[in-house]
């Protein structure tokens, strides 16, 4: 197949489910989890598309055991000292408007499906976010069972790393 250079900001624009894979150290966590969430939160990315970009790491046992969106919000925002009622209101908002939510699940290769709650497995299958956007990152060596259980992705992208220019921009 042909190769095409894609910026991380272009990934979520028109595709509802994406698998981004690449070797260790290629930038999956940096580009899709840290940079996308940061750029969204500062108004530089996807503002017209999403009310929230929620990035969570599947290596975290608390994430793997999440039973609902509220549990993931607590992982993401719990350190901000938000009141439980505020988090419940946010969770309710996105249950009603999943199309305005982008969930980034980082590190599929770092967990086994039998370690994940039904809710997290449904996120990976995109059944928990009907109409929402899901980006999953993984090394290509992820458990074949895990990948096969996640179904088909509209887009699969290989993360090859950062260019010198991109590294300078990110470090700046």
DSSP annotation of 65: T
CA-based torsion, 71, 51, 105, 82: positive or negative? negative
CA-based torsion, 19, 24, 26, 28: positive or negative? positive
Distance CA 156, CA 32 (A): 13
User: How large is the average pLDDT for residues 58-86?
Assistant: 83
DSSP states of 18-43: EEEE--TTSSHIIIIIIIHHHHHHTT
What percentage of residues in the chain have a pLDDT greater than 70?
72
Instruction: Specify the 3-state DSSP secondary structure of 80.
Output: helix
pLDDT digits (tens, 9 = 90+) for 94-151: 777 767 888 899 998 888 888 899 988 888 876 656 567 888 888 886 555 555 555 5
Q: Are 138 and 19 within 8 A, CB to CB? A: yes
Q: Are 148 and 154 within 8 A, CB to CB? A: no
pLDDT band at 2; cut points 50, 70, 90? very low
Distance CA 32, CA 16 (A): 15
pTM above 0.95, yes or no: no
The helix (H) or strand (E) run that includes residue 17 is strand 17-21
């Amino acid at each position: 197949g042909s190769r095409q250079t894609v910026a991380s900001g272009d990934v979520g624009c028109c595709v509802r489910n994406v698998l981004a894979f690449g070797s260790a150290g290629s930038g999956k966590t940096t580009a899709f989890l840290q940079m996308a969430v940061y750029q969204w939160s500062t108004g530089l990315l996807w503002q017209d598309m999403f009310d929230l970009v929620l990035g969570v790491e599947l290596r975290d046992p608390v994430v793997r055991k999440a039973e609902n969106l509220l549990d993931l919000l607590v992982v993401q925002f719990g350190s901000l000292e938000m009141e439980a009622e505020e988090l419940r209101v946010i969770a309710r908002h996105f249950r009603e408007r999943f199309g305005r939510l982008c969930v980034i699940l980082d590190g599929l290769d770092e967990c086994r499906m039998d370690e994940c709650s039904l809710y997290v497995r449904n996120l990976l299958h995109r059944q928990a976010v009907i109409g929402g956007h899901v980006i999953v990152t993984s090394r290509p060596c992820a458990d074949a069972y895990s990948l096969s259980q996640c179904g088909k992705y509209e887009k699969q992208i290989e993360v090859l790393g950062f260019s010198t220019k991109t590294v300078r921009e990110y470090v700046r």
